[in-house]
Structure 1
Amino acid sequence: MTVATLRERQTATAAPTTAILELAGLHVSHGAISALKGIDMVVREGEVVALLGANGAGKTTTLRTVSGLHAPASGAVRFCGERIDGLPSHAIVGLGIGHSPEGRRVFADMTVLENLHMGAYRFKRQRLRQEDLERVFALFPRLAERRTQQAGTLSGGEQQMLAMGRALMGRPELLLLDEPSMGLAPLVVAQIFEIIKEINAQGTTVLLVEQNAAQALKVADRGYVLETGRITMQAPACELLDDPRVRAAYLGEAAR
């Protein structure tokens, strides 16, 4: 998809205005190390927002803070207008935030089906679990074929599908994806990003952390660039994709 095509797509679609996630002045430290240094970010309902940056920039810390796995030193995290910083992770999942973590983190000794049911633990009604299972199997037919297989025996791409499917079993309004293409073959990467587009088209807002900047910006509406704990750029995805600084830093091109 060309930059011009991306720009036409984004111009033709009215920008959503309702903020589903807001980070305001967020500071997070790991011991004596400042990982996030007062970042501000907004993800609007219906968007795919890409968060780009080098290793160690603070991308994973951002997602883990939204999920309640890190406590901010200061600042606020708001979901649908309500502060959620300080809530435990299980409560945040219950509010409607799903997280597919870096490195997949599937339960290796459990089957595909058991892993998916773990993602639906907050739903007690079997009918809801079955509906969500059917949705996940429609998005990821390979998981349906492997439903009785132990997760640890799956390929890397299949484990990534399982991690995403498990997060979707919680019926999230906001899906956090941390490096979904890491370590995968190019054909599988393309497939994963097509599925991300379909998940979003079905109504789920996505905050995407991804080293593959070209792929991320092709599916995103907007993007932020995070450098050593600070937001240094934010713009529509098509503008970032065409920005010489982004192309030099993240797309492997010489600065123009």
Structure 2
Amino acid sequence: MSVGLDKEAGAAPVPEDGSPALLELRDLHVFYGAIEALKGVSLTVAEGEVVALLGGNGAGKSTTLKTASGMMAPRTGEVWLRGERVDGIKSHELVRFGIGHVPEGRRVFPRMTVLENLRMGAYRLRRPDPADIDRVFTLFPVLAQRRKQVSGTLSGGEQQMLAIGRALMGKPELLLLDEPSMGLAPLIVQQIFEILKEINDQGTTLLLVEQNASQALQLADRGYVLETGSVVMADEASALLADPRIRAAYLGEAAE
């Protein structure tokens, strides 16, 4: 369902000190072979924000995150982190710029234990910081209980917690999350979102792709809506949540 075009709303706030946005994507055109997946996507994320990306299947949400984290390179367009252009830098090198990526489908190392997975998240550091492991276990107590358990035997919710915890081990300033609630029971989804709020309250900026539009917009400060590779709406999260077009397209309500 098309939700209509509203490109002017929802620009990220300009920091009072004039510093650049934490993340800025400028006119990204990204292709899979001959297929153009992103058609001029631009967005900004200010330090401390939670920004939600909404859209249907094939809208370009995951591609946007992959391009921001260096997993894909734009054919044209630019990616900026704290005022430094970083498109073209490989994803494993971008970690040192303070960006973490929790991919769709969790993708934990199934034959490694919980603790080994967490240590892998700190690969860019000379050695894992015990304080970071303690932080993850405080955020996710169930992982502390299962620290020696092989991660492939965890439940889906526990694997999602582990994927988030592993990304936190890299000390990211910006955490990209791709569908963290996918396939999880409602009670676990609520728990995951409460923890994401806590992570943000602790100072980590979040860019969130999420199929659960209501949960995402309740957590977010601002949101963007993608359709077939283009940004078609951008606004404060509260305004998007109240917009009848969004409620009809993503919350299952009848259009007015």
Instruction: Determine if the TM-score, normalized by the shorter chain, exceeds 0.5.
Output: yes
Deviations along 1:9-34, one digit per CA (max 9) or x if unpaired, are xxxxxx67251000001000000110
1:116 to 96, 115, 118: 118
Instruction: Provide the residue aligned with 2:105 in structure 1.
Output: 103
1:94 to 93, 96, 99: 96
Instruction: Provide the residue aligned with 2:3 in structure 1.
Output: none
- Matching residue's letter, 1:185: A
How far does residue 251 in structure 1 lie from its aligned partner after superposition? 0.5
Superposed, 1:177-188 pairs within 5 Å as: 177-188=177-188
Deviations along 1:94-119, one digit per CA (max 9) or x if unpaired, are 11100000000000000000000000
| 1:46 counterpart SS class | coil
How far does residue 90 in structure 1 lie from its aligned partner after superposition? 1.1
Instruction: Provide the residue aligned with 1:207 in structure 2.
Output: 207
| 2:22 counterpart SS class | strand
- Matching residue's letter, 1:221: D
Instruction: Provide the residue aligned with 1:139 in structure 2.
Output: 139
- Matching residue's letter, 1:139: L
Superposed, 1:4-153 pairs within 5 Å as: 17=15, 18-126=20-128, 129-153=129-153
Aligned pair count reads 240
Instruction: Provide the residue aligned with 2:222 in structure 1.
Output: 222
Deviations along 1:75-108, one digit per CA (max 9) or x if unpaired, are 0000001011000111101111000000000000
Structure with the larger helix share: 1
Query: For the residues of structure 2 that align with 1:130 and 1:123, how far apart are their CA atoms?
Result: 12
- Report the RMSD for the aligned CA atoms in angstroms: 0.9
Contact 1:16–1:47 (8 Å) recurs in 2:
no
Is 1:166 the counterpart of 2:185? The answer is: no
- Identity rate, percent: 70
How far does residue 122 in structure 1 lie from its aligned partner after superposition? 1.1
Contact 1:20–1:81 (8 Å) recurs in 2:
yes
How far does residue 183 in structure 1 lie from its aligned partner after superposition? 0.2
Query: For the residues of structure 2 that align with 1:114 and 1:54, how far apart are their CA atoms?
Result: 35
- Matching residue's letter, 2:139: L
- Matching residue's letter, 1:157: G
Query: For the residues of structure 2 that align with 1:45 and 1:158, how far apart are their CA atoms?
Result: 28
| 2:39 counterpart SS class | strand
- Matching residue's letter, 1:224: Y
How far does residue 242 in structure 1 lie from its aligned partner after superposition? 0.3
Instruction: Provide the residue aligned with 1:193 in structure 2.
Output: 193
- TM-score of the superposition, structure 2-length normalised? 0.92
Query: For the residues of structure 1 that align with 2:41 and 2:63, how far apart are their CA atoms?
Result: 12
| Ranges of 4+ aligned residues in structure 1 off by more than 3 Å | none
| 1:19 counterpart SS class | coil
How far does residue 137 in structure 1 lie from its aligned partner after superposition? 0.5
| 2:59 counterpart SS class | coil
Instruction: Provide the residue aligned with 2:7 in structure 1.
Output: none
**Consecutive unaligned residues in structure 2, runs of 5 or more:** 1-12
Query: For the residues of structure 1 that align with 2:95 and 2:248, how far apart are their CA atoms?
Result: 37
Query: For the residues of structure 1 that align with 2:197 and 2:139, how far apart are their CA atoms?
Result: 11
Query: For the residues of structure 2 that align with 1:125 and 1:217, how far apart are their CA atoms?
Result: 37
**Consecutive unaligned residues in structure 1, runs of 5 or more:** 1-14
| 2:238 counterpart SS class | helix
